[in-house]
Amino acid sequence: MTKSRSRVHQLFTEAYAKGDYTGWFEKLYAEAQGDLDAIPWADRGVNHWLVDWVEKSQLDLQDRRVLVVGCGLGDDAEYLAQLGAKVTAFDLSQTAIDWCHQRFPHSQVNYQAVNLFTAPADWKLNFDLVIEIYTIQALPANIRPNEIDAIGNFVAPNGELLVICRGRNSEDPCENLPFPLTQDELNRFTTTGLTQVSFEDFIDPVESGSPRRFRIVYQR
Ligand SMILES: C[S@@+](CC[C@H](N)C(=O)[O-])C[C@H]1O[C@@H](n2cnc3c(N)ncnc32)[C@H](O)[C@@H]1O
């Protein structure tokens, strides 16, 4: 395990013992003090599977309202803004949001420190495209239904949701962060009024350890 992953393990184990499932993110970002090596998911660039999807779908994002969930250090949000989208990107960690501003001082992205569970009411049904990459898998199964409902509800009529996450079969073990998702868990998105448009299940050769990956698109 890398140093940053073992620190994550330590932080979330301590936090979970107190029933706190989200507080450790801010702690990790704050401790990092600007060192990208301290953040295990900081890839220093846009997500490969996001770019692949945007290019294959030949999406025209000019002036589209896009929401990036759990934006972390902002690379995916910046990429979408460069394609002409009007991007709002949020993360519950104020330090992560400050870090985005420092990394991209001339950014067109509207970065906000917001907790998914208490997001502004006017975000509901308000975005043409919602991007969820690796946030659901960073939270435990018991709060996933609320998380999925909150994310699904951001999608506007005719809008789309892209989810990229680790995947597993329901009988596979799920003991350590990131907690891979099952198809059943993801099906809950359809209860928020979305229809599943595509479901890809593949081994990710880009990431170390070649994890199993799901990439799903939903539409309202
Ligand atoms: C594993 S990281 C992934 C970050 C980014 N999406 C990426 O792919 O690099 C999960 C992110 O979700 C954020 N997060 C976790 N729970 C959240 C919540 N309830 N509301 C908003 N952001 C949250 C964390 O602070 C963290 O930045």
**19-35 confidence digits (pLDDT tens):** 999 999 999 999 999 99
Could you tell me if residue 101 is inside a domain?
yes
What confidence tens digit (pLDDT) does each residue in 83-117 have?
999 999 999 999 999 999 999 999 999 999 999 99
What mean pLDDT comes out for the span 123-148? Answer: 96
Position 206 scores a pLDDT of 85
Quote the domain boundaries for residue 83. 44-219
For residue 138, is pLDDT > 80?
yes
Position 129 scores a pLDDT of 98
For residue 4, is pLDDT > 90?
no
Distance between Cα 128 and ligand 1 center (Å) = 21
Position 209 scores a pLDDT of 87
Give the pLDDT band of residue 1 (cuts 50, 70, 90): low
What mean pLDDT comes out for the span 146-169? Answer: 98
Q: Determine the residue of 135, 163, 164 to mutate for testing ligand 1's pocket, defined as the one with the most ligand atoms within 8 A of the Cβ atom.
A: 135
Give the pLDDT band of residue 174 (cuts 50, 70, 90): confident
Could you tell me if residue 56 is inside a domain?
yes
What average pLDDT does the chain have? Answer: 96
Could you tell me if residue 15 is inside a domain?
no
For residue 69, is pLDDT > 80?
yes
Could you tell me if residue 1 is inside a domain?
no
* Ligand 1 pocket list (CB less than 6 A): 22, 25, 41, 47, 70-72, 91-93, 96, 115-117, 133-135, 138-139
CA separation for the pair 10, 80 (Å, rounded): 33
Q: Which atom of ligand 1 is nearest to the CA of 26?
A: 25
Listed in sequence order, the residues at least 6 apart from 31 whose beta carbon sits closer than 8 Å to its beta carbon are 7, 38
Q: Which atom of ligand 1 is nearest to the CA of 68?
A: 6
For residue 38, is pLDDT > 80?
yes
pTM value? 0.97
Could you tell me if residue 28 is inside a domain?
no
Could you tell me if residue 23 is inside a domain?
no
Distance between Cα 41 and ligand 1 center (Å) = 10
The CATH number of the domain holding residue 88 is 3.40.50.150
Listed in sequence order, the residues at least 6 apart from 173 whose beta carbon sits closer than 8 Å to its beta carbon are none
Q: Strand, helix or coil at 217?
A: strand
- What's the domain count of the chain? 1
Could you tell me if residue 39 is inside a domain?
no
How is the chain split among helix, strand and coil, in percent rounded to 5? 40, 25, 35
**CB of 213 within 8 A of CB of 204?**
yes
Could you tell me if residue 6 is inside a domain?
no
